Amino acid sequence: MAEEKGLNKPVKLKADLAAFLGAGALPRTEITKKLWDYIKANKLQTSTANGKPENAGKFIVADAKLIKIFNNTKVKTKSGKVVDFTKLKEGQTIDMMQMASVVSANIE
């Protein structure tokens, strides 16, 4: 079998994400899928954003399990913006568009 490349290539997970997903290495696509499966199964997407329903599902609520992973996130995006969730508290939300930063911050 050919070696997996790009997003399908398994990457090493940092401790908190490895414990959460029950695996030491997974492809990025699988990490993202498993995180979303958990978020949806536990209804962690908000139905409103600041009281307005038009952004329903756009924000993810940090629960006791996700907060450990979110708190490891302090990365600089390609545009130079810093995404820092190290002080995020349980019950607070992140924008779903920031999930890629969370994944990046939790892999070796």
CA dihedral sign, ordered 12, 16, 102, 58: positive
Give the per-residue pLDDT at 46.
Answer: 85
Task: Decide if 13 contacts 21 (C-beta within 8 A).
Answer: yes
Distance CA 3, CA 94 (A): 34
pLDDT band of 5, cuts 50, 70, 90:
confident
φ and ψ at residue 81, rounded to 5 degrees: -80, 140
- In percent, how much of the chain has pLDDT > 90? 72
Domains, the chain, ordered by start: 7-105 (1.10.245.10)
pLDDT tens, 13-27?
999 999 999 999 999
Global pTM value: 0.86
- The structure tokens listed for 83 are 């995404």
